[in-house]
Amino acid sequence: MILDNAEFIDGLRRQDPVAARHLNECFVPSVWRFVYARVDRDTHLAEDIVAESVLALVAAAASETKIDHPAAWMRTVALRRIQDHFRAAARVQHLIEQAQQQAQIIDEQDPAAKHDQKLKRQNVRQAMDDLPETYRLALEWKYVDQASVKLIAKRLGATEKSAESVLYRARQALRNQLNKHDVDRSQSDAAPMPQKPMPQNTDGSPAKGASANPTKQANGESESSLQKGRPPVFTPRLARES
């Protein structure tokens, strides 16, 4: 049975098996060839894009979208999917090359610089993980994907002004998180070293020769002098008269 375009779209809307067979026989092969030639003959990628185009057509028909030329409509959808794929692939390749360049620069640095770079990456990664989901996504879209404010607003389902406000608050929150990590690290570095425990006998009493105050023992100060609040006084021995 041959269907015209209007009958075909109406059949898809009603989920008519005849319309599904007409789609597979009349439109899918053409769209497949169109896609296959534009994705460097990548069979799996072509299958995915054609499947997405078919699903988009069925969804559009179900939502009563006006489609006068189904074949052209599907090719347009397929072309957009192809462009999206290659843009995403190029973005990933750029990020990989950027990471490789940074790794090469770090490899040429001294060990201390490598350690600092590692700590900075860890701090930024931890700070990003601690942000609310909306803030983290907005920052990743802006500074990793290089997305425009307009696109970020679309992804957030908000106006461009609202998206700019989200980005501003996200940057502030990230800065606060980084400052917090720096303070925690400084406090950790400044923590006092534990003192060596004083030797004890089996009954818990101080061992012979052990001082209750290691600092006093190290400085050789007498207990009586410290209690009086003044330095010890040493009286020189007088020479014995002959």
Give the per-residue pLDDT at 50. 92
Lowest-confidence segment of 104-113, 193-202, 206-215 by average pLDDT: 206-215
Give the per-residue pLDDT at 182. 65
Per-residue pLDDT tens over the stretch 20-47: 898 988 889 989 999 998 888 888 888 8
Per-residue pLDDT tens over the stretch 44-98: 888 889 999 999 999 999 998 888 888 899 999 999 988 888 887 777 667 666 6
pLDDT band at 231 (very low <50, low <70, confident <90, very high): very low
pLDDT band at 131 (very low <50, low <70, confident <90, very high): confident
Per-residue pLDDT tens over the stretch 179-198: 876 666 666 655 555 565 55
Give the count of beta carbons closer than 10 Å to the beta carbon of residue 197: 7
**pLDDT(213) > 70:** no
Per-residue pLDDT tens over the stretch 1-22: 678 888 888 888 998 899 989 8
Give the per-residue pLDDT at 242. 40
Give the per-residue pLDDT at 76. 92
| pTM, entire model | 0.42
Q: For 135-141, what is the mean pLDDT?
A: 85
**pLDDT(202) > 80:** no
Specify the amino acid at residue 172.
Q
**pLDDT(156) > 90:** no
**pLDDT(218) > 50:** no
pLDDT, the chain, mean:
75
Rounded distance between C-alpha atoms, residue 4 and residue 10, angstroms: 10
Quote the Cα angle for 111-113-115, to 5°: 70
104 CB burial (10 A radius; 0-12, 13-18, 19+): exposed
